[in-house]
Structure 1
């Protein structure tokens, strides 16, 4: 698929661009039926916030990331296709996957890929029984580790952590089932990949290597803990991954900064930011997460390793806060009247 990038300068100095999907060369224009499946899509977006790169076009990198937001679709409504399942079952499974990820020192991106694979796979299925959730989850983590990790755990290790519930052959069969259902689309931009981009762009200074982290690791792991907690709630699937990351970052910064690094408007971030407030209140009430040491993990990579805390208990507290908050009962129209972004004078950089 080829992409056209066209800058359209406006009077106020903003520079949106147009993201266009173009048809494959092998398609014959004379065949209208084959051309329909490649109809153009136009999306007006802000210019790339990524600084100039020596190894690639920052515009190309930015557009490819945005294009994945269109390609990879998630939706919490999949529970309607599985009458025997409840949102809490998903939370329990994801909590366990985060725990397994820490045990094997897997990266945060690996855990979030597994979550994405699980949710998108469930969207393609019907009437899955709760007894199969652990097998689907551990297989999703197995696939994600082969995508993301340099030295992924062996398949027998993934079978081992299920304590006899699944064997290697179960995982292999389920792996093929998941890959087929997802049509081998395995490279979404997760909330973690968006967050890393945002915080890196915000911290970037001229002349520094963009691939080397410039941001504060301590603040980064606080934001990731908020994202982890929100990810446990199935309502997080109401929002795009880029918006989830932006809303989480906004809770630790100002909207001026978030707008600069993401190009998102306050109107697009606010609903998620507001929904996330109860989770932020819960995180703020707990002790700040500390960087952990992992065997064979360098000190400057520790922040990228997935960690686990008592997320189920934190989720319970967050959801209770949502129920107790009168603002959670407001309709979208009523909330829309409050669309005023926090200014830098009203909001500190840290909670």
Structure 2
């Protein structure tokens, strides 16, 4: 046993803090390191290596479930409005770099015109209980068309003149046949001052009346008109809307001339005065395309682009198209022929003489719809 104990002690004698019996603490002298001389110093410094620890990967005791990737969802079908937007053509794409075309403000301008036409409505049957009859008004408008053509006035002047006459007659039922021509002459003078750059002289207006009225009477009526209308002359006209619609539809010149012809025929008919100018322009533009393009129904001419830029569907002005077709069909037999002779000139493509204006489509639309 003693030998065995001695062997064990010998094997572990060099271990720290292991003693066979209590002894005095043994002190170890600190190790002295030699400091290098100045010439032995170098630029290389022994940087301490960072301590690194090895981590054994942790094994997950739980089994990982393999899930199948989810099935791809079916694509969401596009809505009708998206399909419609894909077919819309930008009519102002070629004029975006032209500052005078103000393309960035066109939508605001159009919406403002729509608000203005709501502000100045003409009542239905505004000539009821009136001293001036629809026949007198038709004679006056036919004469105004002739005068504006002789003076080579722009179409806006003519349309504005008739608009002023209707607004004045609506508020002044006492106007009779004797003063109706004076109202028309003064209204034409106001419209010329508003629209024309070079307007006829006052003596020219006296001349066209065959000296029936003097300068003083014309100026007095002009003042009466301005007071009655409260100097508010900015009512939109159908020709304003038509110019925009024709550009949106990208029509040819003959289509635009036919639409203008329809609107001037509408000026003579007093029942058209109560219809908003924007609707009249939409109906004229649509009907002109349907007639000249030999379409079976005018609704086919009213494209998604026109719906987008005009905010009107065909159903909104369908009855106006029927009224214009009826007016067009009876234009040849009407007593007021100056509009027809005017648009028979070559500068208007002789559109009033086109045989398509008496075609099957016009006759079909002019037929009165059966009452339910």
TM-score normalised by the chain length of structure 1: 0.65
- Deviation, 1:290, is 3.2
Q: Give the distance between the partners of 1:12 and 1:260, measured in 2 at CA.
A: 10
Q: Give the distance between the partners of 1:97 and 1:251, measured in 2 at CA.
A: 25
Partner of 2:260: 224
1:49–1:263 Cα contact (<8 Å) kept? no
Partner of 1:240: 276
Distance 1:92 1:76, change over 3 A: farther
Distance 1:68 1:291, change over 3 A: farther
- What secondary structure sits across from 1:247 in the alignment? helix
Does residue 75 (structure 1) correspond to residue 123 (structure 2)? The answer is yes
- What secondary structure sits across from 1:147 in the alignment? helix
Partner of 1:159: 206
Partner of 1:61: 109
Task: Tell me the C-alpha RMSD between the 2 structures.
Answer: 3.4
1:218–1:290 Cα contact (<8 Å) kept? no
Deviates more, 1:164-173 or 1:48-57: 48-57
Partner of 2:134: 87
- Deviation, 1:284, is 9.1
- Listed as ranges, the gaps of 5+ residues in structure 2 are 1-78, 85-89, 290-300, 334-339
- What secondary structure sits across from 2:345 in the alignment? coil
- Deviation, 1:58, is 2.1
Q: Give the distance between the partners of 1:126 and 1:279, measured in 2 at CA.
A: 26
Q: Give the distance between the partners of 2:83 and 2:263, measured in 1 at CA.
A: 30
Does residue 279 (structure 1) correspond to residue 327 (structure 2)? The answer is yes
Partner of 1:314: none
Does residue 126 (structure 1) correspond to residue 173 (structure 2)? The answer is yes
- Deviation, 1:157, is 0.5
Distance 1:66 1:118, change over 3 A: same
Partner of 1:263: 311
| Match for residue 12 of structure 1 among 75, 81, 89 | 81
What are the equivalent positions in structure 2 for 1:189-204 lying under 5 Å apart?
Answer: 189-203=236-250
TM-score normalised by the chain length of structure 2: 0.61
Does residue 290 (structure 1) correspond to residue 345 (structure 2)? The answer is yes
Distance 1:326 1:201, change over 3 A: closer
- Deviation, 1:252, is 1.6
Deviates more, 1:283-292 or 1:50-59: 283-292
Q: Give the distance between the partners of 1:152 and 1:108, measured in 2 at CA.
A: 14
- Deviation, 1:126, is 2.4
* Number of aligned positions between the proteins: 256
What are the equivalent positions in structure 2 for 1:176-215 lying under 5 Å apart?
Answer: 176-203=223-250
- Deviation, 1:274, is 1.3
Q: Give the distance between the partners of 1:98 and 1:231, measured in 2 at CA.
A: 9
Q: 1:33-64: per-residue Cα shift (whole Å, max 9, x none)? A: xxxxxxxxxxxxxxx98665745422221221
- Deviation, 1:184, is 0.8
1:110–1:148 Cα contact (<8 Å) kept? yes
Q: Give the distance between the partners of 2:332 and 2:211, measured in 1 at CA.
A: 38
Q: Give the distance between the partners of 1:65 and 1:49, measured in 2 at CA.
A: 19
Q: Give the distance between the partners of 1:63 and 1:258, measured in 2 at CA.
A: 15
Partner of 1:328: 368
1:108–1:192 Cα contact (<8 Å) kept? yes
1:250–1:258 Cα contact (<8 Å) kept? no
